[in-house]
Structure 1
Amino acid sequence: MTDPFQIPYEYYQNGDLIIGEMTSQLGYVTDQLYFHELSEIKFADQLLAISKKYQHVLSFVFAVKEINENPKILPNISLGFYIYDSYTNARMTYQNTLKLLSTTKRIVPNFKCDKKNKLIAVIGGLDSDISLYMATLLGIYKFPQIANCVLAPMMSAESQLTSFYRMVPNEVYQYKGIVHFLLHFQWTWVGMIASDNENGDRFMQTMMPMLSQHGICTAFYEKTPAIPQTTENLGSLGFFRAKSFSMTISKVKVLVVCAEPQTMTALIWMLYFFSLLEGTTETSMGKVWIMTAHWDFSLETMHKGFDMQVFDGTVSFAIHSKEVLGFTKFLQILHPNSAKGDGFINIFWEQIFNCLFSGSAKQNQRTDSCTGEEKLESLPGVLFEMSMTGQSYSIYNAVQAIAYALHKIYLFRLKYGAMDDRGTLNLSDLPPWQLHPFLRGISFNNSVGETVSFDEKGDLAAEFDIINWVTFPNQSFLQVKIGRMDPQVSLGEEFTIHDEAITWHSKFNQTPLALCNDRCHRGYSRKKKEGKPFCCYDCVPCPDGMIANQKDMDDCIKCLEDRFPNKGQNQCIPKILNFLSFSEPLGLTLAFLALSFSVITALVLGVFTKHQNTPIVKANNRDLTYALLISLLLCFLCSLLFMGQPHTVTCYLRQTVFGIIFSVAVSCILAKTITVVLAFMATKPGSRMKKWVGKRQTTSILLGCSFIQISICTVWICTAPPFPDFDMHSLAKEIVVQCNEGSATLFCCALGYLGFLAIVSFIVAFLARKLPDSFNEAKFITFSMLVFCSVWLSFVPSYLSTKGKYMVAVEIFSILASSAGLLGCIFFPKCYIIIQRPDLNSKEQLIRRYY
């Protein structure tokens, strides 16, 4: 009976031990099947061969050839192989997997008819579906299967695949690499494309949360339609979705594609149909394509007319590979007639060189005849590459891994003398399941010196390369390695990228931006747009006192206490120190006034000393007059302590010296006023007040009143003295350098006591202003104390309402104004008489003038 599933495309080579391979060379398109017909596959006019994948077969054959020619591995044991095609179809995959298990052209399940050619392991499964189809059968018999699918089979089934290995790193590292790549260029607005199947759903479900966790938004996720496998529906694949698809992907500049073959086929068809509908070229799209490691930039025969420059500048992750010595030479000597048993080479040759061999089923087509002398190196890279691709390298390493595992078993048996009846070492009786422990623990250096081993999940412990694809108008391309994603290195160093090596699509003059909207400049923060993804935002200025010193900041930040925002609110600049300096105009003016009044006071003192024996000087106690003038001189000078940057010593002296000196001055005035009152009372007949008139009484008042203030200041200095302080908050752009009073209570006590003395002096002088005495200066004292009290009463609200150096300036002005008031009101009239009217400066004239 004829096998209804018989397909002629296979490759066979005898050997003591057989390694099977399930490749994916050919696709097929069938006519529509009907139930009333015989359930036999009907092939359309031609099979659709994927020419570039023929290298997978050749790398497998080359690896077996290397092992057989190496006397150090499996001596006296030859490896053979069976290679079948899965046709990327479940039915054909199951059929040909059963053929591998039967090792004959007839499928006889559960029977081994040929004892010479023993199948020991199977390599294959270019995609996860085909791998799973194979594993469901191979797992029953515990045959080791090493797949090279980038996506592992679905997790629900993975736990049951105890005989399954992958010569590919875990895809999670690839996804992490994509996220790292997007973050490196700060791309946060990307589109995603995958197939409308379980693998596409799995890709989306894995990637989208990872992107969101790292602040990357998915503008859309597009699912490409499934590829029809009937001739009636093939032509309608792209037209009904091409326009809407192109409008969707026009929203973004960066597209992340799960580049499975069916996804790329559908994607290319839709781009091609769009160019036909719009009358444009695909190149005008100008996108950054980020492809997964499925992609090898192969264009099927049906796409030879496609403008491949649409993928110029594409970045793809790729299974790490290295050039294997001898492989290029192996390809160069390849000839259709030299490959015995190869059922794939003729259809590959016809397709790749667009020619026909004699006896071909397509002889009626007007095509050149194949000579067999055509050279593979003359082909463009999109059709065939002379260097080993990543997937071919995985197949090569898979053969090596099986061979090294068998060699370890060989050495184990040799060590323990496991010979057959003829005294020779033979592995033909080796059950496939015994290979697993040796295969799981395998670790060896392949022919190019790279270590090959599996991790705990049965995946290859290796890295992903990051490749930049540069295309040219002549359909050639250049692969440039621009980085890697290596999970084997330490954390933080697993991802590397070389920006300078990247070539972007020719439409971009610089590194593209992938953002939902323009970035927020420095000085602005992001504000989420309602109803939009979190990557879409408005830019709002930072509030007063805050800055944004980077682009796209989520929140503005406050400056440190010693800094403040600049005008653009994009950086913090140091605050300047705020204190009343001698060099600035205000400080210079106040210092000049203080020194001027000090000189005037010294001159007045000089005048009074020179005319000390005159009646006007001797009146009302000459010693008190001198004490008052000296204290006023010191009052003017003590105002200089409030200028300049405060230090510990100046803070100690400022308020205490001011308080003590002013209390002495006011005490002198109080003593003068009391002296006037007592002198008037003592002139009355029979008065007993004469004993209170004299120097002892005035000295007691002066010392007693001053002592109280000295005591308050002493307690203040000993318990909670003033100290230099920095006020960071009162002024936005300046640091106020000031003297902290230490104890506010004692500070208030000192000022309060000074005010108390001033009020008492004012009241006594006011009451004595009309006493009939020519030497009575109570009127002048009354007016001077009125000025004094007015100045200090206005000082309090002014002092509390100002900040920084102006607060100090208010206090200095109050000191100068009140001291000048005392000096002018009390001594100006006397100086006028002494200097301008000396004729009045006599006792007789003053008495006569009074009467």
Structure 2
Amino acid sequence: MGAGTEDLEQRQACRPISRRASPLPALVREGDITLGGLFSLHDSVLEPDLSFTAEPNATLCAEFNFRTFRWTQTMIFAIDKINRNGRLLPNVTLGYKIYDSCSTPFHALRAAMTLLSGQDEGSAEPGCSPGVPVVIGDGGSTLSLVAAGFLGIFHVPQVSYFSSCACLSDKDKFPAFLRTMPSDFFQVDALALLVRHFGWTWVGSVAGDDAYGRQGVQIFNDEDAGALFQEVLRQNLTGIQWLASEAWITASVLSAPHFHPILQGSVGFAIRRADIPGLQAFLLRLHPSTAQDNPFVPEFWEETFGCSLKGGRGDKPLCTGAEQLASTENIYSDVTQLRISYNVYKAVYAIAHALNSMIECKPGKGPFSGRSCPDTASIQPWQLLHYLKQVEFTNEFGEETKFDENGDPVAMYDLINWQITGDGAVEFVTVGKFDGTLSLSEKLEIDEKAIVWNGPQKQPPQSVCSTSCLPGTRRAIKPHFPACCFDCIVCTAGEISNQTDAIECLKCLPEFWSNARRDECVPKQVEYLSYRDTMGVALLAVALLGACCAVGVAFVFVRRRTTPIVRANNSELSFLILGSLVPCFLCALVFIGRPTAWSCMMRHSVFGVAFVLCLSCILGKTIVVLMAFRATLPGSGVMKWFGPRQQRAIIFLCTLVQVVICGVWLAVAPPSPQRLLTRESARIVLLCSMGSPLAFGLVLGYIGLLSCLCFLLAFLARKLPGNFNEAKLITFSMLIFCAVWIAFVPAYVSSPGKYTTATEIFAILASSFGLLACLFFPKCYIILLKPEKNTRKYLMSKSMADMRY
């Protein structure tokens, strides 16, 4: 009874002070040795009413932090990796107990007390369990100050991954505090060396007005920086070279495009980064179904995918479970800048190596009184602290990890430069490094050529009358000023200067043009009528439409080939004309696209032969109409000389002439791709040279001769009976054909660049549509819409009327 009463009193002593205080959610995995973790998984808290007229409600954490959640997962990843590694801590399983400090000192202290006391606030059975022997965290220096003060009283080692305040190096106040994050003391030293390296003597400083910021003029966090640069942006304070602290040099909140004009070229120090193998895959494997013991996953999942795992939460849809982190892009899955995550990783491994040293201690050779070894069955925090201070190892990335007498790591920084890429994103480029272990003259190493400064200049800012003129500009002396004062004039288009303080700009070679910076001659852009151009697509569509129309008319004629109007108009020649019009339309396609040797030869040869074939058919048809009328006169035997065989011979011979002309042209001086160069243009026009202007003239001249002959014969036959000839239609078609090609000549000569080719295509399509419309659309109109006129009786009566007239 007495023992039971004593046990009850002990368990009651471990009850929370406030019954209304919500228990701290904990991410727990049991192990032989449990590591504590403090992470600010939320950025703010919702404070309850503190009027104290009633017991205050619990504070609620808000604004889930994806970046800190990645740090938490990195700790779990490192522990899992150690547990799978048989060489480090063999036969020992590490566990963890991680709490959210909600970015507030109150929650940080409460979580530290919970870890130290072993009290599980979320347990249904109140009671005590052994506290953790070591704590990893917290992130912010303000939070670590609170936790370190409390944990230091009980000599529980605390290894922070992101607290950089130099005040935490005071071992009188914080005897159990260590960190994998360098102290700001070294960062101030690095910034001072950077300023001295470039000879800057006029430097302003901005710092947060708090205990953290007053430790070093460079210190303010990314939230402070965001507020500062919003004001800088509002006042349009451009042209300032910013020196950044580690707290915000790689802050994603400042990499938004609207900050680029003021922050591009910023230079600052960042802790070392590493690419941790397997971490990204581990992060992306996270899923609510496989992480049910993680109380932070539901909120993370809902914030990431904008859904609800439980349903009934406003307008958020229910999560399906099919969501995949691999399909998202956020700061959680971004492993390109693993700096703080790398610190967490190193903290876990430092503790693991310290524990391993404790386990490997040989009796009689221990560091404690009587050369005793620690009791590894019950790890004492103060003993682990001793081993942590002595830990020293080289990790898998070749970096040495150890702590000095103040619990600080080796001070190593990367010098980072903000550079804007071609797609407008910020790239954090490493342009130097700082090593606190080296001598003063060797601590800072800088690659000045790799730095892009704020503004257009390529050189470090200087306090001089005129800064040096960068490549792409030339010097112009200022009137009435000393010789050292000058203006930098940007080189004109087509000229460059590729050295600093150039006196004059140099012209680029004919096939080259200056780039945007005017410091390099780059190949000119090649221009031609492409299938991707709007004009090219439009002409392609019109050409295909014309070909389809010709095929459609032919289809109508085939379907109605027994009707009088088709039979009365020499159906064989009509089909030949329609068949030749199809290549007339389609030959325009050869003119579109990048000119090649084959396409250049095909352009004018296909064009010339197709049109001559069409005009030869029209010519044959016109001759037949004339001769047919004469054959109706008594005693005439003309038609025996203009039968179907003779008609085909006329078409063949007329077309053969053009084929011979094109064949000789292609054999002697074929058209070929030509690059048209001008010094005043940034483009090279790629077109087809004629090869032989005489041959091109013969091709066009022969087409013109046939069209004029067709026009003349059609004009002579215009008064013959309308049902036995198409003289009027041929006359109109030849008028349109000739008008198009007469207008083509001045338009072709005056059109620049790729519009020359477009003009030629337009002439081809316009003349082809003119022939098709004038010769066949009226017949199609009668066939399809006026079938009563497509009878033998109607045609005969109309013919008699025409003859009487």
State TM-score, norm by structure 1. 0.48
Q: 1:511 aligns with which of 451, 454, 459?
A: 459
The 5 A counterparts of 1:599-618 are: none
Is residue 264 from structure 1 mapped to residue 225 from structure 2 by the alignment?
Answer: yes
Task: Verify: 1:395 aligned to 2:347, yes or no.
Answer: no
Q: Using the alignment, how far apart are the partners of 2:226 and 2:152 within structure 1? A: 31
> How big is each residue's C-alpha offset from its partner over 1:797-837, in whole Å with a ceiling of 9 and x where there is no partner?
xxxxxxxxxxxxxxxxxxxxxxxxxxxxxxxxxxxxxxxxx
2-side partners of 1:376 and 1:169: how far apart? Answer: 33
Is 1:405 the counterpart of 2:354? The answer is yes
* Number of equivalenced pairs: 451
SS at 2:35 equivalent: strand
Distance 1:411 1:112 in 2: 33
Deviation at 1:316, TM superposition (A): 2.6
Structure 2 match to 1:127: 140
Query: Which residue of structure 1 aligns with residue 383 of structure 2?
Result: 434
Matched, 1:89 2:104: yes
Q: Specify which of 297, 304, 309 is matched with residue 345 of structure 1.
A: 297
- 1:434-453 deviation line (CA, Å, top 9, x unaligned): 11221111111223232111
Q: In the TM superposition, what are the counterparts of 1:244-259 in structure 2 within 5 Å? A: 257-259=218-220
Given candidates 298, 303, 308, the residue that maps to 1:357 is: 308
Letter of the aligned partner of 2:315 in structure 1?
Answer: Q
> For residue 197 of structure 1, what is the aligned residue in structure 2?
210
Letter in 2 for 1:35: S
Structure 1 residues 504 and 145, CA gap change in structure 2 (3 angstroms): same
Match of 1:14 in 2: 30
Residue from 313, 318, 323 that aligns with 2:265: 313
* CA–CA distance in structure 2, aligned partners of residues 3 and 474 of structure 1: 55
How much does 1:28 deviate? 1.9
- CA displacement at 1:431 relative to structure 2: 1.1
Partner in structure 1 of residue 277 of structure 2: 325
Instruction: Rate the CA distance shift 1:270–1:3 in 2: closer, same or farther, 3 A.
Output: farther
Give yes or no for the alignment of 1:65 onto 2:65. Answer: no
Give the AA of the match of 2:300.
F
Q: Distance in 1 between matches of 2:360 and 2:48?
A: 55
**Could you tell me how far 1:41 is from its partner in structure 2?**
5.2
Aligned partner of residue 465 in structure 1, secondary structure: strand
Q: Is the 8 A contact 1:350 1:357 kept in 2?
A: yes
Q: Assess, with a 3 A threshold, how the Cα gap between structure 1 residues 48 and 471 changes in structure 2: closer, same or farther.
A: farther
Q: Are the structure 2 counterparts of residues 317 and 156 from structure 1 closer, same or farther at C-alpha, using a change threshold of 3 Å?
A: closer
**Structure 1 residue matching 2:200: 3-state secondary structure:** coil
* Match status 1:40 vs 2:56: yes
CA contact (8 A) 1:169 1:461 kept: yes
Structure 2 residue aligned with 1:335:
287
1:204-603 to 2 correspondences below 5 Å: 204=217, 257-267=218-228, 270=231, 275=234, 285-295=238-248, 297-299=250-252, 307=259, 310-351=262-303, 353-359=304-310, 363-365=313-315, 369=319, 371=321, 373-376=323-326, 378-379=328-329, 384-387=333-336, 389-413=338-362, 427-471=376-420, 476-505=425-454, 507-511=455-459, 513=461, 515=463, 518=465
Give the direction of change, closer, same or farther, for the CA distance of 1:412–1:40 in structure 2 (3 Å limit).
Answer: same
Letter in structure 2 aligned against 1:359: K
2:456 alignment partner AA: F
Distance 2:230 2:320 in 1: 30
Paired amino acid for 2:46 = T
Does structure 2 conserve the Cα–Cα contact (< 8 Å) formed by 1:29 and 1:47?
Answer: yes
Structure 1 residue 268: Cα displacement? 5.0
- Is the 1:484–1:496 Cα contact (8 Å) retained in structure 2? yes
For 2:337 and 2:106, how far apart are their aligned partners in 1? 30
Q: CA deviation at 1:417?
A: 12
Code of the residue aligned with 2:35 in structure 1: it is: I
> Retained in 2: the 8 A contact 1:150–1:293?
no
Q: 1:164 to 1:31 in 2, by over 3 A?
A: closer
C-alpha distance in 2 between matches for 1:502 and 1:367? 47
Code of the aligned partner of 1:518: C
Q: Which position in structure 2 is the counterpart of 1:164?
A: 177
1:137 aligns with 2:157: no
CA distance in 2, matches of 1:10, 1:269: 37
How far did 1:322 drift? 2.0
Report SS of the residue matched to 1:479.
Answer: strand
Listed as ranges, the matches of 1:694-773 within 5 Å are none
Q: Is the 8 A contact 1:289 1:315 kept in 2?
A: yes
For the 8 Å contact 1:10–1:85, the answer to whether it is kept is: yes
Distance in 2 (CA, whole Å) between partners of 1:366 and 1:377 is 19
Q: Is the CA contact (8 Å cut-off) linking 1:99 and 1:107 kept in structure 2?
A: no
Distance 1:377 1:309 in 2: 31
- CA displacement 1:530-588 (0-9 Å, x = unmatched): xxxxxxxxxx99xxxxxxx9xxxxxxxxxxxxxxxxxxxxxxxxxxxxxxxxxxxxxxx
2:118 maps to what in 1?
103
Give the secondary structure class of the aligned counterpart of 1:120: coil
Secondary structure of the structure 1 residue equivalent to 2:114: helix
1:19/1:120 contact within 8 Å kept: yes
The SS at the match of 1:400 is: helix
Quick one: structure 1 residues 66 and 258, their matched pair in 2 at CA, closer, same or farther if it must change by over 3 Å? same
- Deviation at residue 180 of structure 1 after TM alignment: 2.0
Question: Aligned-pair distance for 1:372?
Answer: 5.3
Change (3 A) 1:348 1:511: farther
| Conserved? CA contact 1:23–1:124, under 8 Å | yes
- C-alpha separation in 2, matches of 1:159 and 1:356: 50
The AA in structure 1 aligned to 2:299 is I
3-state SS of 2:134 partner: strand
The structure with the largest alpha-carbon Rg is 1
Q: Which residue of 1 aligns with 2:9?
A: none
Kept in 2, the 8 Å contact 1:10–1:82? The answer is yes
Read off the aligned partner of 1:73 and give its amino acid letter. Answer: L
Q: Deviation at 1:341?
A: 2.3
Matched, 1:146 2:159: yes
SS for the counterpart of 1:394 is helix
Whether the 8 Å contact between 1:336 and 1:372 is mirrored in structure 2 is: no
Which whole-Å CA distance do the structure 1 matches of 2:436 and 2:427 have between them? 27
Q: Describe the SS at the equivalent of 1:189.
A: coil
> Structure 2 CA distance, aligned partners of 1:480 and 1:417?
47
Of all paired residues, the percent bearing the same amino acid is 26
Instruction: State the secondary structure of the residue aligned to 1:321.
Output: coil
With over 3 angstroms needed to count, the CA separation of the structure-2 counterparts of 1:262 and 1:390, relative to structure 1, is same
Give the superposition deviation at 1:14: 0.9
Counterparts of 1:377 and 1:180 in 2: how far apart (Å)? 44
Q: What one-letter code is carried by the residue in structure 2 that aligns with 1:175?
A: V
Query: Is 1:331–1:376's contact at 8 Å kept on the other side of the alignment?
Result: no
User: CA RMSD for the aligned pairs?
Assistant: 3.9
* Local SS of the residue matching 1:440: helix
Amino acid at match of 2:129: D
Question: Matches of 2:25 and 2:147 in 1, distance apart?
Answer: 18
Give 1:64 shift: 0.6
Task: State the Cα deviation string for residues 106-139 of structure 1 (Å, max 9, x = none).
Answer: 399xx98225xx5121110222211111112111
For residue 339 of structure 1, report the CA deviation from its aligned partner. 2.6
Instruction: Describe the shift of the 1:416–1:496 C-alpha distance in structure 2 as closer, same or farther (beyond 3 A).
Output: closer
Give the drift of 1:93.
1.1
**Structure 2 contact 353–391 (Cα < 8 Å) conserved:** yes
Shift of 1:321: 2.4
Change (3 A) 1:415 1:451: farther
1:500-522 superposed Cα distances (whole Å, 9 cap, x missing partner): 222234x333335264x73799x
Amino acid at match of 1:180: L
**Partner of residue 90 from structure 2, selected from 75, 78, 88:** 75
Q: Contact 1:27–1:48 at 8 Å: present in 2 too?
A: yes
Structure 2: distance between partners of 1:113 and 1:16: 17
Specify the SS of the correspondent of 1:342. coil
1:31 Cα shift? 5.1
- Where do 5+ consecutive residues of structure 1 fail to align? 205-256, 419-424, 522-539, 542-548, 550-851
Deviation string 1:209-260 (CA, Å, 9 cap, x unpaired) is xxxxxxxxxxxxxxxxxxxxxxxxxxxxxxxxxxxxxxxxxxxxxxxx5242
Instruction: Note the 1:566-715 alignment, pairs <5 A.
Output: none
Rounded Cα–Cα distance in structure 2 between residues aligned with 1:482 and 1:156: 29
